[in-house]
Structure 1
Amino acid sequence: MSSIELANDSIESDYEALVSFMYLSPVGLVRTDLIGKIDMLNPKATQLLMPLVKSTGLENLFETLACAAPDLRNLVSSFRESCGSICENHRIHVSSAADGGIVLACTIVKVNDEVLITVLTDISSQVATERRLKQTDSWLDAIYTIVNDFAVLGLDKQGVINSWSPSAERLTGYAESEAIGETLGRFYSLSDMEVDVLKEQLIFAREEGWHSRDYLCQHKSGVNFFAQTMIAVLRDESDEFSGYTVVFRDITERKVSSDNLANLLTKDHLTGAANRAHFFNLAEKELARASRYEHSISIIMLDADHFKHVNDTWGHPTGDEVLKSIVKIAEGVLRPGDTIARFGGEEFVVLLPKSNSAETSAIAERLRSSIEASSVEAGDDEIKITVSIGCASLSQSRSTLKQLLVSADRALYQAKSRGRNCIVDIDDC
């Protein structure tokens, strides 16, 4: 074999090794030119970048990352050395904490005057941990600086109160003899739909080491107050799980202010129903709870019938009153724990935790008939309101929120096709 053939074999071997390394690497690797045009990327990089890919496709790295990290292109263009590290572990927030909190660490190395290598690593879990630690620091700072509004107590492995303190008696009004042997549910004002949170908070605390949540509580005198609760896992000398420590903080004044802000962020400004973003947040949490405890869950989608005719005939202010009337009636019909949200225009979606198909149909019929019996004044006229409703319940073929919404929307379309002012369950289509 000639020296040229040996050299070619060596080059081919090196290339195969490079390709193998890129495709098997647990981090995202992207090779581009200096303006970001992608020459090669591995499957992991494709996976990490897909949430940011637009209709133009995955052709230029800087264009793909522009919405989340517009500064990268400037970092590269301002780097004057012929080679070297341009940035290391530059954080790119792909989505907010509410949308999953995807965060990437980006390192860009300039190989020569023509080639950049970018390394992408998913550090979402690390950032989430940092966020929790910051919350813990805030908790500890509050405990040390505001000593009059917190209480400490202990729970055994089963979540039963086994130690009480004077501060706990001051905050709740209950003496030690009245609290020992009880659960935290003694102090929480929970609806029948929320009883599972007592189990959940202990499960989350065991999984994460601690868990924090706000609750509406009731003092022994009957006065309600808001409390922030942190539950931390206790371990004995052998590092075995032995129970929990609980810290209560009265946050009533802060809660009132934060609730006013929360309403601005989570409510539809016209109707008072939940907005679309808040609905998605609530629905994902309820689906996770349904999966954990094997509960049913259902979705109702409803649409105001002939709404365009209302706007065209009586004007948009009257149309607004129709939408507000639908929400007001729904809030009177729905159970505690159910949520109605404005999904867009005259379309609403209702989240029904712990509801199977039969229960959902019954709720939907009460909703439909109550709206049909109502009317909205428009000058000297009274406008009769009706809605079309589509229902879908959790099943093996509908196990995600997207599948539930698509199914409920399909059922709603069938309800409209059947003449409106009626209910269709997707299982009956």
Structure 2
Amino acid sequence: MLQNEDILRLSHKVAQSGHWYIRLNDNTLFWSEEVFLLHGMSPNATHPTVDNALSFYHPKDRDRVEALINETIETGKPLSFEARIVRVDGDVRWVETLGELKSSPSSNTRYLFGIFRDITENQQQRMHNQRLAWVLENTQELILMTDSNGRINWANSAFETLSGYSLEEARGHKPGDLLQGPETDPQTIAYMRDCVARQQGFSCEVLNYTKGGAYYWLRISCQPEFDSDGKLYGFNSIQTDITQSKQIRLDLEAEINERRRLEEQLRYLATHDELSTLPNRRHFLEQAEKEVERARRHGRPLSLLMIDMDHFKRINDQYGHSTGDEVIQTFAERCQGMLRKSDTAARIGGEEFSVLLPETDNDSGRRMAERLRSLIADEPIKTQAGPIQLTLSIGVSTYRQDSPSVEAMIQEADRRLYEAKDNGRDQVV
């Protein structure tokens, strides 16, 4: 059977501790082998005096330790403290001491008996945890922790400051239910919820709302935490307030989009007439050159119409230019409505228009022109000033090998247009 001494030695070894006592009658100090080793000394060394033992304590802890020992001796109060010692090799270690007074009835001797344990690693871990807790609490980043059901169980002060919710108000709520609002992107919400359901981490940017209804943007990095058995413990997230940078980015994107819109508008205005929205003269001529070249290369027919609104000046003089603008806009709409996708109608002057008809011979071009003339003549144009009767004079030309240029086609159609006007207008020549 193990002796008491063996049991004590084993217990010290398991607990990584040693024992000591002071015989108070003559102030003699005894250290166990483990205590010598904890001080970096040989177990065969001479037992130190009480004063020598106290000298091992760190200068900043020494007076406190001595005062606690004296208090226990004087009052019988149990001894308990943590302090630093400086080993003989200069290494600083944290130790824990527990002790109490003992008396021997037979010899009338009093002892202060205690145990001595190295807690350096525990102390370092505790200090690390304290520093970590301080960082978590005082960082500008929002720290949020949830349980396995995704409900908030802890948040730092940065979260409280930004969101306006205290921890007590937020605890037990799912972050999304508490913080997301009408403008939060549904796809982002669905993505986060899907990751949580799959017990997966995620990173994203999300629009949240404070308790008072103000919006703010966050960049969230969220990771699941599992226990040693692989069971989900909860989710931990670090959230950064990116409201200012996000707003700058959104403003920049809006500015870029506006510039693109203006550039597109400028490109459009460079090729189109703003009033009628039809291509302008420049764009029409460019398109006509392409179609003439195609007709020349493939031997395909091509017709061109030159159109003039009859007595348009009278409309402006009688009803005003705003009414004249209405007439031009309505004509352009009707003209576009009856043309094919391959045809090109353009406004090339005040009341002058031209239409390019690919794959169209002279007879077909004339029929197309007649349809357009009838479409306008048969139905008065509605304006703010009332209905206005409008007629057209149209000249038609067709591409020929002996007159192969755009300019030649336009000149020929223009001559026929004036022939139509000279013959009484409201007709196709």
Q: TM-score range by the shorter chain?
A: 0.3 to 0.5
Could you state the TM-score of these two structures normalised by the residue count of structure 1?
0.38
Could you state the TM-score of these two structures normalised by the residue count of structure 2?
0.38
